[in-house]
Structure 1
Amino acid sequence: MNKPTAADVAEATDRIRPYTRRTPLLRTEVDGRPLVLKLEHLQLSGSFKLRGAVNALRHGERPDQVVTASGGNHGLAVATAAGLLGVQATVYVPEGTPAGKARRIEAAGAKLVRHGRHYAEAAAAAVDEAAASGARYLPAYDDPAVVAGQGTMGAEIVADAPEVDAVLVAVGGGGLAAGTALAIGPRQTVAVEPEGCSALHQALAAGEPVDVAVESVASSALGATRVGAVPFAVLNAPGTRSVLVSDAELLAARDRLWEEFRLAVEPAAAVPFAAWLAGRVSAELPCVVLCGANTDWTPA
């Protein structure tokens, strides 16, 4: 297995710069505690996923066609990246993918195919189509170039707020958390998952990726049934801390982001903020990553 490195993240930073936004930081205080918010939901395509998609499609020979599977955000990122780079894209999504994400994927110019109840079923069908058509299959997270691309977000945090001592990220398949860990050096990576979507947490306990059940309000974005082998190789290290939150906690955190900051994010993006609000993270100045905003959403 080709394990990505910090050098790969640095190369990805230069590779993706013409196609992505450098998202801002918001320095603030909540409940008397300082924190930094990384507003990655303002990224083109509405999530961090564009970073990995662009890096992977620009890494090596550019394909004419790309096929992928996604809970929504990666699919929209691939559709957007493909449009920017002149590549035809087909995106498989689970049948329960939110309408807002599906609509945006099609609006970005990709062919949308709904298949299966969970991401794993959609991914299996996408792999089959890529093999039959000769298109390139682009994994959502289990790919070194994708992981390195996601790490560019962590590199921005370090450059813009070097005093941050921990970075909190939501985890589905593990690509963002792994890329962040590569980019932030000795700082702590806090990998946060809903209790009902805990692929990384259970893998760390088992010592290897394992299949898990998926049942959470955030499952459209974080519903990987198994953490990726590439991300796990990076995250199975002392610098990673795994934290779980309940659906009630993450929804309350989402609503608080709206009420206090007028930041409208999808449930998955509020997961790390929920962990911080619950006092499950020990850090002097943590950075909480708000990773996406691709669900049609109204506050409670």
Structure 2
Amino acid sequence: MDQLTYGDIKAATERIAGHIRPVTLAPVDPLDPVGPVESVDPGAIRTADRGAEAPEVWLALEYMQHTGSFKARGAQNFIQAHREAGALPEAGVTIASGGNAGLACAWAAQQQGIPATVFLPATAPAVKVARLRSYGADVRLVGTEYAEALAACEDFAATTGALTSHAYDHPLIAAGAGTLLEEIHARLPGLDTVVVAVGGGGLFAGVATAARHHGIRTVAVEPENCRALNAAIEAGRPVDVTVDSVAADSLGARRTSAMALHAAQQDGVQSVLVPDSEIVRARQTLWDQRRVAVEHGAATALAALTAAGSAYRPAPGEKVAVVLCGANTDPGDLVP
């Protein structure tokens, strides 16, 4: 399926209502260094031209979602939709992922009372394994690379009949992610733009599809060296890209989904790239100004506003929501 519809988003919204945490929204003061200015230097902000109306910027704190990221939405929608269709096997659900998708899959399975089998390389950090098991998952450690874990997951599904989930490339996963924009739109009437980081494209595809329905522009932000969507837009088709970024742990897909590319080719979408140095700075600024510790992937969205010379700058009076999508991170590298 290359095209996601707004009907898919609406169905997901109704399906997962009451099973996920509604997003929290926090305003950004025009004088706040987190805001949309050319420089995060407070002195530059104070001396900026105040003749024009400042943009109205909000942070969507989706990192407060179950399991610490937006992935809970798609995982919940995926499992519930299969349950409604009578297509949930006794063997439950399986996935190869030690990241946010694996955590969300295990959590959603636990919520729905079905087994979850998660495959990881044997090199996976013990803390991830422990957290997966805390959600009741059967964790299988296989090989030393993700590809080996994925192959084992596929063999397990073929042998047991377990339902295979995916981190981003499935319409039910993307539609679940799109419910986030429905909530933001309902809470922020007159929203002009939503800014979202892009990895494989599940969150982007869902958000952009819902945003287009409401006449809202989507700014898709990627690290300069993790640009699967940007490269696909240039090529006109999904292509493999090099993955080399501080945000690669959550945005490091080598190829975007066809759904994400289709969404990006519609009106009202802008693709923006930001350097790692600006991602690191945006993440540190969130910590310095708000004591918020997010993943580098989440800070990538904010970097589109704070990076010097960025291709995206909110217009005077523009109402913008910046999605902070996850916080499963080690805060040890944040400067006190």
TM-score (norm. length: structure 1): 0.93
In 2 relative to 1, CA 262–90 (structure 1 residues): closer, same or farther, beyond 3 Å?
Answer: same
What's 2:89 paired with?
A: 63
Give the secondary structure class of the aligned counterpart of 1:19. Answer: coil
Structure 1 or 2, whichever has the larger Rg, is 2
Q: Distance in 1 between matches of 2:64 and 2:17?
A: 15
Which residue of 2 is the match for residue 237 of structure 1?
266
Alpha-carbon distance change, 93 to 269 in structure 1, aligned in 2, over 3 angstroms = farther
By how many angstroms is 1:235 displaced? Answer: 2.3
| Corresponding position of 2:41 | none
1:71 is displaced (CA, Å) by 5.1
Q: Which AA in structure 1 matches 2:319?
A: L
- The amino acid across from 1:51 in the alignment is R
Q: Distance in 2 between matches of 1:120 and 1:180?
A: 29
Does 1:108 find its partner at 2:142? no
**Structure 1 residues 120, 201: CA separation in 2 closer, same or farther (over 3 Å shift)?**
farther
Task: Give, in whole Å, the separation in 1 of the partners of 2:113 and 2:157.
Answer: 18
Q: Distance in 2 between matches of 1:232 and 1:47?
A: 23
- Taking the TM superposition and a 5 Å limit, the aligned residue runs for 1:199-214 are 199-214=228-243
* TM-aligned CA deviation for residue 273 of structure 1: 0.4
Q: Alignment partner of 2:277: what SS?
A: helix
Give the distance between the partners of 1:202 and 1:96, measured in 2 at CA.
Answer: 31
Q: Which residue of 2 aligns with 1:35?
A: 57
2:14 corresponds to: 14
1:173 aligned residue: 200
CA contact (8 A) 2:193 2:320 kept: yes
- Residues 227-278 of structure 1: CA distance to partner in whole angstroms, max 9, x if unpaired? 1122222222232211111221111111100110111111111001011101
Aligned match of 1:247 in 266, 270, 276? Answer: 276
Q: Deviations over 1:93-113 (max 9, x none)?
A: 456655544432222121234
| Counterpart mapping for 1:119-268 below 5 A | 122-185=149-212, 186-268=215-297
* Aligned AA (1:275): A
Question: Which piece of structure 1 moves more, 57-66 or 91-100?
Answer: 91-100
What is the aligned-residue identity percentage?
A: 46
Change (3 A) 1:79 1:201: same
Shift of 1:127: 2.5
Which deviates more from structure 2 when the two are superposed, residues 35-44 or residues 17-26? 17-26
Separation (CA, whole Å) in 2 of partners of 1:99 and 1:199:
29
Structure 2 counterpart SS, 1:14: helix
**1:180-237 per-position Cα deviation (integer Å, ceiling 9, x unaligned):** 0111222111111112211111111110001112122211111111111222222222
- Name the SS for the 1:141 alignment partner: coil
For the 8 Å contact 1:120–1:225, the answer to whether it is kept is no
Runs of 4+ aligned residues of structure 1 deviating over 3 Å after TM superposition are: 31-34, 93-103, 113-125
Question: Cα RMSD between the aligned structures?
Answer: 2.0
Mark the runs of 5 or more structure 2 residues left unpaired by the alignment.
30-34, 38-44, 46-54
- Partner amino acid for 1:251? V
Higher mean alpha-carbon deviation, 197-206 vs 58-67, is at: 58-67
Q: Does 1:288 align with 2:315?
A: no
**CA–CA separation in structure 1 for the residues paired with 2:141 and 2:171:** 26
Distance change >3 Å, CA 242–CA 230, structure 1 → 2: same
Whole-angstrom distance in 1 between the partners of 2:175 and 2:311: 28
Counterpart residue type for residue 221 of structure 1: S
2: CA distance, partners of 1:247 / 1:151? 26
**Greater shift in the superposed pair: 224-233 or 154-163:** 224-233
Q: CA deviation at 1:128?
A: 3.0
